Amino acid sequence: MIALTAKTLYTPLERVESPLLLLEDQHIVEVASQAAQAVPTGARVVDFGDAVLAPGYLDIHIHGGAGHDVMEADHAGLSAVEHLIAKHGVTGYFPTTVTAPVDQILSALERLATAIENRSQQNSGDGSLLAAPLGIHLEGPFISHARPGVHPPGDLLLPTIALFERFWQAARGNIRMMTIAPELDGALEVIAEAAKRGVCVSMGHSDADLEATRAGLAAGARHATHTFNAMRPLHHREPGIVGEVLTNPQLTADLIADGVHLHPSIVQLVLGAKGKENAVLITDAISATGMPDGRYPLGPFVVEVKDGKALYNGHLAGSILTLDVAVRNVMRFAHWDLQQALRAATLNPAGVAGLAGRGRLQAGARADLVVLSPCGDVRNTIIGGIVN
């Protein structure tokens, strides 16, 4: 048994001062205070001093990092991504596809499914600091020609049950999230079918008006992808998809809080509208994350990274954001405290994506956590109870 001590612990719903966190067999045994619980005899004690203990971060929208894209064939590339994001506090993530020819998407889904299943079967940990792939986020090809971002227009497709079934079979049921434009012909049928299978259907890359957005919600969509980005702009007489995202308390939404995709004041607006329960932080990070300026892959095309921006033909193409920076940016942009900001990177994405036993420090949960400085800098990441 391992006993962790620190100055503060955020579950993140509760704050525990002078905590005692007991870990055994990859899981949390007990969350207590040192005043209420003695260290069990024989336990290995690890004291993190003035640090904060929090659940490991969960990134449900990420395309790559460390020079590698999650759709590439090299298995070692996925490990490089996982090692990089683990150093930034991420313990679990959804590798996210981009629009490409169907055969390329199918091949990528098969490889990612294998990576997810292999990690699940191993599950014992070998001491490596690697974030775990927990499911696949299918972003494209069911998105709007009017709001494709940098997704290749020639590979965008209208949604059909038959094509969704091909993706589902290739992924062997590991698609946990799907971004779709609800206004497309056939979208409502695919939304309903995906939702029936437990997929978190997220509306994004969409030119939907208010009526089409609400039709998507009625069909089973329940989340929004990178709010404001690749969406019909908000208009005071035609609120569209953004208006619904900002005003519907049943609709959860994610955002890229890098200060590039959204002005800090808009980050504050989205977080204020969605509240601490319904806001989710994502990175939308690409292969260039953690790398110097240069040219890097994003699915089937190459992106130019310079001065903190990833661009393709002059358009933003994902980010080079890490989730720990997003948490700290929320503290600066929206004046949230660390406990509030943590929720948007832990408990909220776990709830949105249906990741039971993750995103919260409690007895029985998997021992995935991040050790932070009081201002949110990552000092250590613990995955599966392995303390390095």
Domain edges within the chain: 1-56+359-388, 57-357
Helix (H, G, I), strand (E, B) or coil at 126: coil
Q: Which of 59, 258, 284, 324 is catalytic?
A: 284
The Cβ of residue 313 has, within 10 Å, a number of other Cβ atoms equal to 9
Residues 345-371 pLDDT 10s: 999 999 999 999 899 999 999 999 999
Distance between CA atoms of 264 and 315, rounded to whole angstroms?
19
Q: Enter the pTM of the model.
A: 0.96
Residue 126 has pLDDT above 60, yes or no: no
Task: Provide the CATH topology of domain 57-357.
Answer: TIM Barrel (3.20.20)
Question: Could you read off the pLDDT of 77-125 as tens digits, one per residue?
Answer: 999 999 999 999 999 999 999 999 999 999 999 999 999 999 876 544 4
Buried b (16+ CB within 10 A) or exposed e, 246-285: bebeebbbbbbbbbebbeeebbbbbbebbebebbbbbbbb
- Residue 207 annotated to the active site: no
Q: Which residues of 128-151 are buried (b: 16+ CB within 10 A; e: fewer)?
A: ebbbbbbbbbbbbbbbbeebbbbb
Mean pLDDT over 179-201 rounds to 98
Q: Which H or E run includes 272? A: helix 264-278
Nearest residue to 142 via CA among 173, 115, 114, 177: 177
What letter would DSSP give residue 155?
A: G
DSSP-derived secondary structure letter, 153: G
Q: What is the mean pLDDT of the chain?
A: 96
**Among 360, 344, 277, 284, residue whose Cα is nearest residue 316:** 284
User: Cα torsion at 10, 14, 19, 25 (round to 10°)?
Assistant: -70
Please compute the mean of the pLDDT values over residues 140-169 and round it to a whole number: 97
Q: What is the mean pLDDT of residues 249-270?
A: 98
Q: How far apart are CA 97 and CA 160, in angstroms?
A: 18
Question: Which has the closest alpha carbon to 181: 216, 210, 226, 219?
Answer: 216
CATH hierarchy code of domain 1-56+359-388: 2.30.40.10
Q: Pull the structure tokens for residue 240.
A: 């569209």
Q: What gap in Å lies between CA 122 and CA 200, rounded to an integer?
A: 26
% of residues, the chain, pLDDT over 90: 94
Q: What is the pLDDT of residue 124?
A: 43
